[in-house]
Amino acid sequence: MTDPTPKIEFADILRLSKGEQYFFAALIDLAFLEKIFTNGVPFRESFSVRIPIASDEYLTDGVMSPDYIHTTLFLHSFIEKSLKFISLLTNAKATIRSLRACDHNLEKLLAYALITQRDLKNAFGDEDYRICDRVFKLNYSYLRYLSRNQEIIFKYESLLKITSYFKEKMLSCRASNIYSIEYRDSFVRRLGNKYPITIVSIPVSKEAPKIVNKEDFENITTHKSYMYVSPAEDGFKHLPSSALTDIECNFLISCYEFKNSKYHLKSPIDNQTSRRIFKLFSKAEYTLPSQTRNISVGRSSR
C-alpha cells in the first residue's frame, strides 16, 4: 500500500528553518506595531538634542517626525519578513537565495508570496490601498538613513488595517503549513535521523495557562478581542468579540485570582478542567509561548 504522507526533502528542512527565522523576527516587529496602535501613543512632531559647544552655550540638532518614520520602518520590516515567511512555505519557486536577492523590495516579495495587487485592492478601500501602495514603494534603506526624500502617508486607521491584513495572512499560512496535523505527521515520520538537527516550534501543551496578563484576561472575559482594536477619541479600543458566552467568561473568572498585577490559575485543578480552560482560551484566539516548545529533530548522537 502506498504511503500517502507527503515526502519531506532536505531542501524543505532548510526552507522551514529559514522560514522560522523570518516568522519570529516578524513577530518582534508586530509586537511593536500592536503596542503603538493599541495604546494610541502620541507621536512627536520633532525631536532634538542640545550639543554643548562652550560654557552655557549649545547648538541644537533635530529631526522631524521621528515616530512616524520609526513606525513606518517597523511596518515595512514586518511586511517584508511576513512575505518571506509566506513565500518559503507556499511557493516552491521561492528559494532562500531568490528572496535575499529581493533585498527590501516589497513589490518583488509580494509576487513570491503569490499575493497580487488585485488581492490588495479587494482587501482595502481606495484610500487604504493608496497608503498600502505607498508603503510598498518606499525604499527601506533610503528611509532608514534619510539619504533621499521619501514620501510617507501616515494614517492610523489605514496602517492598522494593513498590519492586520498581513498578520492574518502570516498566521493563516502558519496554521495551514506548520500546525496542520498532516504536516506534523509527515515531518516526524519522514525525517527520522536522516538530517542534521533543526529546531521547529510546534504546539504541544493543552493545559490552562498558569498566568495571564491583566489586560488580556479582562478583555477576553468581557467579550472584547485582545488582538483586534479600532481607533477611538482617546487612542484605541478593543473590538467586541463573541467568541465566548457569558457562562464561559464567568467560568474563566472563577478559575483565576488576581494578584501581583496578573491573573493566576487557582489550584488545585484537575486535568479535565485544565483542558476546558485551554479550549476556551483557544476559542478566544489566545495563545502563550508556554503552550509551544522547541522540538529538535536530527541525527542521533548514539
159-184 pLDDT, tens digit per residue, is 999 999 999 999 999 888 877 666 65
Give 204-218 pLDDT, tens digit per residue: 557 888 888 888 899
Q: How confident is the model at residue 15 (pLDDT cuts 50, 70, 90)?
A: confident
Determine which of 43-57, 63-77, 213-227, 275-289 has the lowest per-residue pLDDT on average: 275-289
Smallest CA-to-CA distance from 247 within 272, 283, 271 is with 283
**Reported confidence tier of residue 117, pLDDT bands at 50, 70, 90:** confident
Counting residues of the chain whose pLDDT is more than 90, the rounded percentage is 44
235 has a pLDDT exceeding 90:
no
The grid cell for 248 is 464561559
- Tell me, what amino acid is at 29? D
Mean pLDDT, residues 265-270: 90
Side chain identity, residue 222: T
Length of the chain: 302
Distance separating alpha carbons of residues 259 and 251, to the nearest angstrom: 18
Q: Which region holds residue 30: left if phi is over 0, alpha if psi is between -120 and 50, else beta? A: alpha
> Which pLDDT belongs to residue 294?
41
**pLDDT over threshold 60, residue 112:** yes
Beta strand ranges found along the chain (DSSP E): 46-54, 57-64, 198-203, 211-213, 224-232, 235-240, 256-259, 262-265, 292-297
Residue 195 · residue 252 · CB < 8 Å: no
CA distances from 72 to 135, 160, 200, 289, 297 (A): 8, 11, 30, 27, 38
The per-residue pLDDT for 175 is 86
Q: What is the pLDDT, as a whole number, of residue 273? A: 92
Phi, psi of 59 (to 5 degrees): -110, 150
pTM over the 0.75 mark: no
Query: DSSP secondary structure string, 224-293?
Result: EEEEEEEEETTEEEEEE--SS-HHHHHHHHHHEEEETTEEEE-SS--HHHHHHHHHHHHHTT---GGGEE
